[in-house]
Amino acid sequence: MKRKNAKLVCFFLSLLLAMGIPISALAAWENLFTDVKSGDWFYDAVEYVNTEGLFNGTAPDKFSPEVAMSRGMFVTVLGKAAGIDTAAYSGSQFTDVPSDAYYAPYVSWAAQLEVVNGTSPTTFSPNSSITREQMATMLYKYAKAAGCDTSLDPSKLLSFPDYAAISDYAQQPMAWAVTHGVLAGSDGKLLPLGTATRAQTAQIFYNARQILASQTETPGQEKIWVVDVPGHYETVERLEMVEVIDKEEVGHWEELTRSHTIYICNTCEYEADTLEEIHKHLVESIVWTDQGATGCGGWHRGLSEPEPTGEMQWIVDVPAESHYELQIVKEEVWAEEVGHWEYR
């Protein structure tokens, strides 16, 4: 009985792994946050971001769901979601991002990936509250870099009365976020310039979890093509119906000749190459007498004597005899190289 139960457990675990469900997902989340209750609208989102290591609390027992989300905090969460190696990113183009700040490597990564541009050429404003359209823009740019689905339907924005308040740079990102349910609005409005709380940000990452999981690229890493089998010629065999000659044809070469149209006098058989020439002949042949005019009275078309062209033509005297049979035919074909992409 114990062996049977063990087999069932192994089968169940194997099924979960095949479905891409981590074993850790079976364990219940231990909620240490006293300000996150099971009935809260953001409970599942906080569980997700905390379980995935995207968010920590503001204290061991506090999540602070109503605290405003800063730009530095958001880029940090995005970088954690991307799974970046913080040791690979140091220094910053922004003067207001200290090198020892917790968000410094994440800001450096996002800037290199062009997910963020800063609030000016030299400042990032990491402690400023992030707006909803800024969040959508950063997520959209990351999704593009990661090869995620970035399809969008701009008409989706028209269902919100404040769609005209969206900044020009955020039109596509907001349309993408609404299209895929990343942003659902608040009280029927998009509030693109409104700030977001930690709970709202957690919900946005929770909403985007599936589309971000569909990434096909690893942003920020160099992609190198590694050749496994170089391109080469190889001999292939195939069956082909082949004509087999049993008896060669017999023939000879003859020089081609060519004739052209001529105009022949009906009376004297004078030959002219052109109509003008034959008409001139007919006129000149007229003789006037007391009885009237006499002369050649008309013409007809004919062909000149054949003239050699200098071209030779093969004349078949006895046709060849042949039959068809299946044969193995060998040929050299080019086999394309085989390889794979690696990130370095």
Give residue for tokens 């004597």. 305
The answer on pLDDT for 197 being more than 90 is yes
The answer on pLDDT for 26 being more than 60 is no
CA distance 240 to 231: 26
CA distance 182 to 203: 8
More confident: 27 or 273: 273
CA distance 155 to 176: 11
Residue 22: CB partners within 8 Å, gap ≥ 6?
16
pLDDT tens for residues 167-179? Answer: 999 999 999 999 9
Mean pLDDT along residues 57-72:
94
> Each residue of 173-196: b (16+ CB within 10 Å) or e?
bbbbbbbbebbeeeeeebbbeebb
The two structure tokens encoding residue 163 = 């769609």
Upper half-sphere CA count for residue 185 (Cβ side, 13 Å): 16
- Given this model, what pLDDT does residue 221 score? 56
The answer on pLDDT for 10 being more than 60 is no
Mean pLDDT along residues 62-73:
95
Mean pLDDT along residues 121-132:
94
Mean pLDDT along residues 181-191:
89
CA distance 249 to 139: 77
Using DSSP's 3-state secondary structure scheme, residue 70 falls into strand
The answer on pLDDT for 209 being more than 60 is yes
- Given this model, what pLDDT does residue 115 score? 92
User: Percent of the chain beyond pLDDT 90?
Assistant: 66
Confidence tier at 117 by pLDDT (50, 70, 90): confident
Decide: 64 and 48 in contact? Cβ < 8 Å: no
As a whole number of Å, the CA-based R_g of the chain is 44
Confidence tier at 76 by pLDDT (50, 70, 90): very high
Q: Amino acid identity, residue 336?
A: E
Q: What is the dihedral of CA 36, 40, 46, 47, to 10 degrees?
A: 90
Q: Is 18 exposed, middle or buried (0-12, 13-18, 19+ CB in 10 A)?
A: exposed
Decide: 45 and 203 in contact? Cβ < 8 Å: yes
The answer on pLDDT for 74 being more than 90 is yes
User: Percent of the chain beyond pLDDT 70?
Assistant: 88
Confidence tier at 2 by pLDDT (50, 70, 90): very low
Give this prediction's pTM.
0.58
Q: Is 1 exposed, middle or buried (0-12, 13-18, 19+ CB in 10 A)?
A: exposed
- Given this model, what pLDDT does residue 248 score? 92
Mean pLDDT along residues 120-134:
94
Helix residue ranges, H only, the chain: 2-18, 43-51, 71-82, 104-112, 132-145, 171-179, 198-207, 209-213, 275-284
The answer on pLDDT for 9 being more than 60 is no
More confident: 11 or 301: 301
Mean pLDDT along residues 313-336:
92
More confident: 324 or 7: 324
CA distance 68 to 126: 12
Decide: 140 and 175 in contact? Cβ < 8 Å: no
pLDDT tens for residues 79-93? Answer: 999 988 898 888 888
- Given this model, what pLDDT does residue 23 score? 44
